[in-house]
């Protein structure tokens, strides 16, 4: 199967409302949820942090005319998306985040300049309003203090994304936790949303999902039981389902196909 097509679910809309509130209030927000349910996808979508935007910020090379669209997209929410490395030191986090924030601000400034909307000279992070840090459970106490200090100095809203429990982990650091204005739990797909997503998946395989059909209903029930509404597992499962159907020259998605695909997945399903 090709690249994952983004689907604007209710959880994504809730995330967008949460991010807007954090950004408007210039506070610190904590978003937590199980791995694979769509936190990172939603955050990148909110920030318009596309692969092209990410490459432009990282490589910072020669400018192309097509970059103008990236500038425009980044200016919509004025948000930086940042993922710390597993072994990244607090100093590296400070330096890398400063670099990414400055470059993003320059891109936004370029867009505003084309509109004649710039006000005064460009500075390091003038145009950035929110910094989203993914995989926040990787941050140690010193790294968290670096982020807290940056927040105090620059007054740029901060969102920390991670696994369930990070909100309790952060409560051990009073100086950081006292500044947290919002917490948001990112939940798995509800049943009606799962059906909506599966209709898209069926179409991607050239099929039509009919919930009045017993075979389709059985297959959907098997998928729901296995994935529990987890986006990443749904994608991985359908990749294997497509493979099973091709190898066995099958034309119908059944619960047997789903179970056969499940058996090939090494991790992530219990």
pLDDT in tens, 58-108: 999 888 888 999 999 999 999 999 999 999 999 999 999 999 999 999 999
Residue 20 is assigned to a structural domain of this protein: yes
Residue 2 is assigned to a structural domain of this protein: no
Q: What domain range is 108 assigned to?
A: 10-185
Please check whether residues 92 and 18 belong to one and the same domain. yes
181: domain CATH number? 3.40.50.300
210: domain CATH number? 1.10.8
Instruction: Judge contact between 235 and 4, C-beta under 8 A.
Output: yes
Question: 67 — alpha (psi -120 to 50), left (phi > 0) or beta?
Answer: alpha
Check residue 122 and give its pLDDT. Answer: 59
Give the integer Cα–Cα distance in Å for 154 and 25. 14
**Single residue among 125, 159, 185 that ends a domain in this structure:** 185
In this prediction the pTM is 0.87
**Single residue among 155, 185, 215 that ends a domain in this structure:** 185
pLDDT in tens, 43-70: 999 999 999 999 999 999 888 888 999 9
Phi, psi of 31 (to 5 degrees): -120, 125
Instruction: Judge contact between 234 and 36, C-beta under 8 A.
Output: no
**Single residue among 156, 185, 214 that ends a domain in this structure:** 185
Q: From 2, 7, 6, select the one nearest 192 (Cα to Cα).
A: 7
């Amino acid at each position: 199967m090709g690249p994952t097509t983004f689907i604007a679910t209710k959880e994504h809309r809730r995330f967008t409302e949460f991010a807007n509130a954090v950004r408007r209030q210039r506070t610190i927000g904590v978003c937590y949820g199980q791995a694979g349910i769509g936190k990172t996808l939603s955050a990148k979508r909110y920030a318009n942090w596309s692969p092209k935007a990410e490459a432009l910020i990282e490589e910072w090379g020669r400018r192309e005319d097509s970059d103008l669209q990236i500038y425009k997209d980044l200016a919509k929410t004025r948000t930086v998306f940042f993922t710390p490395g597993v072994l990244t030191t607090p100093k590296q986090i400070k330096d890398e985040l400063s670099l990414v924030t400055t470059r993003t601000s320059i891109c936004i400034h370029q867009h505003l300049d084309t509109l004649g909307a710039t006000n005064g000279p460009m500075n390091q992070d003038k145009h950035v309003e929110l910094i989203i840090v993914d995989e926040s459970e990787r941050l140690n106490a010193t790294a968290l203090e670096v982020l807290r200090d940056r927040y105090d100095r620059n007054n740029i809203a901060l969102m920390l994304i991670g696994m369930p429990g990070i909100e309790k982990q952060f409560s051990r650091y009073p100086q950081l936790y006292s500044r947290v204005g919002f917490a948001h739990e990112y939940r798995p797909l509800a049943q009606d949303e799962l059906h909506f997503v599966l209709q898209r998946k069926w179409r991607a395989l050239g099929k039509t999902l009919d919930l009045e059909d017993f075979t389709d209903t059985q297959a959907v029930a098997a998928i729901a039981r296995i994935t529990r509404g987890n986006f990443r597992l749904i994608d991985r499962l359908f990749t294997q389902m497509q493979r099973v159907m091709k190898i066995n020259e099958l034309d119908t998605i059944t619960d047997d196909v789903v179970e056969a695909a499940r058996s090939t997945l090494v991790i992530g399903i219990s």
